[in-house]
Structure formats: structure tokens, C-alpha cells
Amino acid sequence: MKSTELEYVGFWARAGASLIDVILQLVIVIPLTFVIYGRLRFMSPVGSFLMGPADVFVNYILPAVVVIAMWVRFGATPGKMALSAKVVDADTGEPLTIPASLLRYVGYFLSAIPFGLGFLWVGLDRKKQGWHDKLANSVVVRPAGVEQVRFQKS
């Protein structure tokens, strides 16, 4: 797609896409955690952060690997696919590389730490970039709309 056929995806659409992704993640992670431990995290003793070694894999590593692989392979997670949106390099419009995807994923934590301000930033930024996008030099775009995308290097 040419950049003149795209628009930046705003806060509410991205929030909806994230909600879809979280629900899909829970549909996989909750049963898997229950099969391994016979209980869920909220059933654990108060103050226990991890239920065991598999908890780290199921709840942290597996979701990160799947999300990063989807950004690299498809340019989107299922939630963004539902919006026909893609995560691309902000300068070229090309798919994210593995290093940029890793940086963007780590950026999610940085965006969340100060009361989610890094995610809310999407609603304030001209290119609809959250802090995680700025860190990885990415934008989320979808087919035609109000504001057209112009990449610096095409």
C-alpha cells in the first residue's frame, strides 16, 4: 500500500485492538496455567508473585514471543488485524525488524509504568505514537481515512 492510502490509527481503535488481544491471550494462558498448576494466580497465597518456573514461561515469555513474531511476520496482532491495521517502521513503512519489535515490546512496560501515560500519549500525538512506538520508531496505520501518512524515506 502507498502511504497516501493510509491513516494513523488513534487511541480508541488501538485500545479496542488491545482488548481483543488481551482476551485471546487469556483464553490461552488461563487454561494452560490451570493445567500446569491446578490453580490460577488469583488462587495463590497473598504476596506470591510467581507460581513456579512454568508461570514465567506461560505468562511472560510465551506472550512476548507470540506478539513479537506476529509483528514481524504479519505486521499485526489479531486485534490490529481486526482493524486492518499494521505496525510498521515510521520512516519507511516497511515491516518491523526483530530488534525494533523487541524494543517496541519492552517499550510497552515503559509506557505503562507512569500510570499508562505512554499509551495515553497516542491520543495526543500527531502520528498517534505511544512512547513504545517512539522508542521503536514505529507507527500503526490502516487503509485510508482522514489524515494521510507520509514516510520520510520511500
Which range of residues forms the domain containing residue 64? Answer: 3-143
**How many separate domains does the chain show?**
1
Average pLDDT over all residues of the chain: 88
Tell me whether residue 153 is in a domain. no
Q: What angle do CA 145, 147, 153 make, to 5 degrees?
A: 110
pLDDT tens column, 31-72? 888 888 877 665 555 556 667 788 888 888 999 999 999 999
pLDDT value at position 88?
Answer: 97
Contact 122, 87 (CB under 8 A): no
Res 38: pLDDT: 78
Instruction: Report the pLDDT value the prediction gives residue 2, as an integer from 0 to 100.
Output: 56
* pLDDT on residue 79: 97
The answer to whether residue 149 is domain-embedded is: no
Q: Is residue 154 part of a domain?
A: no
Considering the domain boundaries, does residue 152 fall inside one?
Answer: no
Residue 133: per-residue pLDDT: 97
pTM, whole model, 2 decimals? 0.82
Q: How many CA atoms lie within 13 A of 56 on its CB side?
A: 2
